[in-house]
Amino acid sequence: MNLPDDFITKYQGLLGDEAPAFFASLTTDENTAGYRVNPQRQVPAKLTAAPGVPYAPWGYFGGVKGRSLAHQSGTVYSQEPSAMFVGATAAPQPGEKVLDLCAAPGGKTTHLASYLQGRGLLVTNEINRKRVRVLAENVERFGVPNALILNDSPDTLSPVFPDFFDKVLVDAPCSGEGMFRKDPAAMDYWSLDYVQDCATRQREILTEAVKMVKPGGQLIYSTCTFAPEEDEQMMAWLVQTFPDFSLVPVEKTGGVVDARPEWADGNPDLAKAARLFPQLLRGEGHFVAKLQRSADAPVHKVKGRAKLGQALTNDQRQLWQAFAREVLGTVPTGDLVTVKDQLFLAPSDLPDLKRAHVFRPGLHLGTFKKNRFEPAYALALASDPQRTAHTLAIDLDQWQQWVHGDALTLTEAPAKGWYLLTCDAQSVGFGKVVGTTVKNFFPKGLRFTVYPEDLL
């Protein structure tokens, strides 16, 4: 790997005697993989036998296969270990209102969801239309029941959610220097000017993000770059520009070190932020800071209430309740809304969202069809098999047929109707039993072939 000349010159000057080890870590072939397990699942012991990431609950070193049962069922999420430090720093409490402002592809969103445990509100936003689809797929696969997915710019959202959130996470678009080893293509568009362009964009994002943190709430800022212009200097600018925000200490362990005040204006509080250097730990480069907003900052009241769709008709409500009682064993409480023929369980107590672009208004429960209700894949992955009335266990061979899109043939015929299918105690989808046949409702766009190496 040939690092850019300007990059080498810059960090030789900044790091001095530390530079040789820093450059050596970037030019090795090491690419540390990691994954997080889903605490809302019954996690197989083999997934927790790997070495744990020291600063990240539920995090482990090692790789997971995208065509495995664990991945398809949302039991694991593949995530670079250093990136796990961001969610661990935010660490929201169940019941809090949390915003992930720059969320795709969803690694940090799903980590935040693990902390929330299905309680509170998780608003996850991505400005890019293509990337928000990927975000929605990952939120769905992880079985997150309390997420509102938006597709907006920060300046659109700040008037909608003034002084609203307990935690706002800004994992800012950056120059990507920390990913050079993992993704050498990031060097192709890197330049000193690009770093400045990124810093300008980050200031624009942060100017809107701070408006959405409630008094006493926290802003968590992160990048995957080493650039002081995007890290320490960005935080120095923020606390100078917005005096009701102050840096608070980030807990550091496992090779995570203090940020460098001397790379900005010398403010000693900047050392409270954290740097993750690849020569000091098993992971790529990251910067993470946590800021607290003053509890006595003025508050702008949120106006109105959200109208995310249409209310159910009497017929629709009866169809849904009949399905829920029979198959789920209970009728989930919350705000039910329909968007055309699609039924969603929407988060409660939201402000007026008419200025926002709602990509997904909550947990997708299913589709109303003529005189029947068809449950959604998202509902299956958000359902706990131990609390579901109608479950049907299938083996690994049957699971391979299922994700391929094939109907299953049973040796005995259970009662007809909808069942939550499970494999190795994990929810994998809904199937409809007719006689000894299980009709396949695995989404066509997600179907795949499992190869022998995927099962290793």
In the annotated binding site for S-adenosyl-L-methionine, the residues are 102-108, 126, 171
Q: Would residue 224 show up in a list of annotated catalytic residues for this protein?
A: yes
Q: How far apart are CA 454 and CA 78, in angstroms?
A: 15
Pairing of strands 363-369, 391-393: unpaired
Q: What angle do CA 431, 434, 438 make, to 5 degrees?
A: 35
Q: How far apart are CA 430 and CA 408, in angstroms?
A: 12
Strand partners, 291: 219, 247
Name the catalytic one among 174, 198, 224, 423: 224
The number of beta carbons lying within 10 Å of the beta carbon of residue 330 is 10
Strand partners, 36: 59, 77
Q: How far apart are CA 447 and CA 32, in angstroms?
A: 29
Q: How far apart are CA 10 and CA 310, in angstroms?
A: 56
Burial track 395-419 (b if 16+ CB lie within 10 A, e otherwise): eeebbbbbbeeeebeeeeeeeeebb
Identify the DSSP state of 313: P
- Does the N-terminal peptide bond of residue 105 adopt cis geometry, omega within 30 degrees of 0? yes
Q: How far apart are CA 227 and CA 4, in angstroms?
A: 14
- φ, ψ of residue 145 to 5 degrees: the values are -90, -15
Pairing of strands 97-100, 165-171: parallel
Q: How far apart are CA 74 and CA 9, in angstroms?
A: 44
Catalytic residues: 224
